[in-house]
Amino acid sequence: RRTYDLVTRALVERNPVGYRMDFLGAYQPNASAYLSPEIRKRLRGVGKVGVSGQPAGTYTRQLLDRLLIDLSWNSSRLEGNTYSLLETQRLLEIGETAQGKGAFEAQMILNHKAAIELITGQGEEVCFNRYTICNLHALLSDNLLPDPAACGRVRSRGVGISGTVFQPLENPHAIDSELNKVLEKASAIEDPFEQAFFVMVHLPYLQPFEDVNKRVSRLAANIPLIRHDLCPLSFVDVPQADYVSGLIGIYELNRVDLLRDVFVWAYERSALRYTAIRQSLGEPDPFRFRHRTQIGTLVQEIVQAGLNRKKATDHMRAWAVRNVPPQDQPRFLEVIETELDSLHEGNFARYRIRPSEFDVWNKRWK
């Protein structure tokens, strides 16, 4: 029978099933594949940025403001969050909570922002290891779990999932061992789309944490896309019912076809949206690209030191003499001044500046 027909039957008509270790065990990186070569080629065609020579995550950092809003909203929406897109934008940009909505929903969205900044701000360091996955979970679950110590910690007790007859693994040692295998296999996969889909399948199936597993998998799916400078996956327009049905197909039947359809459709929608945004932004400035590290370092230094305009001017002139070729110094100083004048509540995170540091500097800069 078709997977959809099987997973949409009443719960009483479906047989309870537990975690099958052979589902993960049978997968051999770069020999097995959930996505066909044709699908991977198609996704690469729509997702390729076409800007060579840039470091991992350059494209996503360029679109960070848009990505923070889109991915935070869509991923939260798939969890039943009732914030609108506009309300999400106002929360992330100016800290305004929506009237009549609880702190839990606002916290969920703000946690997404922090987690997205992790995976877009540390492109070379973020990968499929325990540090990344556990810290993603810690950020996404912050202030949302009954036990604060459970944030970022692999679970040691059983959990249940509503709407399915699937019972996740309960043995703590086995959970820990399976998580290591998931991360090891994910790291070995060469194709970024296969990597992304693999973690969307196996992290929710394992349920390594007490809660927030699906959110971790959705953000983790973006890690290989960011590293290969591909369009991000924001889950724009993905119907919640289709996504849940795809996961139940994984849980109860170990069939990937429904979730694969959702993944492919979602990526094509995301790529269309971000390609349009990128075109509206134009190509990156070659000068700014060449000096991206120096620009980031100096802006961060000035803000973290809380320098006013006069002190900042003296500091950046002296800094440029030491670190920038003479012929580039006039343009470099102009770029720094523009960057500092353009900083606001919605974009300072790209320089890895804390909100408290920005607030102190901003009062002195005005």
Residues 205-243 have pLDDT tens digits of: 999 999 999 999 999 999 999 888 888 899 988 999 999
Could you give the 3-state DSSP secondary structure of residue 285?
A: coil
Q: Taken in order 17, 19, 22, 26, is the CA torsion positive or negative?
A: positive
d(CA 78, CA 234) in angstroms, rounded, equals 11
Per DSSP, 346 falls in state T
pTM over 0.85: no
- Mean pLDDT rounded to a whole number for the chain: 90
What is the band of 17 on the pLDDT scale with cuts at 50, 70, 90? Answer: very high
Q: Is the confidence at residue 168, as pLDDT, over 90?
A: yes
For the chain, what percentages of helix, strand and coil (3-state, to nearest 5) are there?
65, 0, 35
Which one, of 294, 61, 94, lies nearest residue 302 by Cα? 294
Task: Quote the CA–CA distance of 306 and 94 in Å, as a whole number.
Answer: 21
CATH architecture of 3-281: Orthogonal Bundle (1.10)
Domain ranges of the chain: 3-281, 286-365
**Alpha-carbon gap, residue 173 to 11, rounded angstroms:** 30
Residue 155 confidence (pLDDT):
97
Mean pLDDT calculated for residue range 19-38: 98
Secondary structure (3-state) at 166? strand
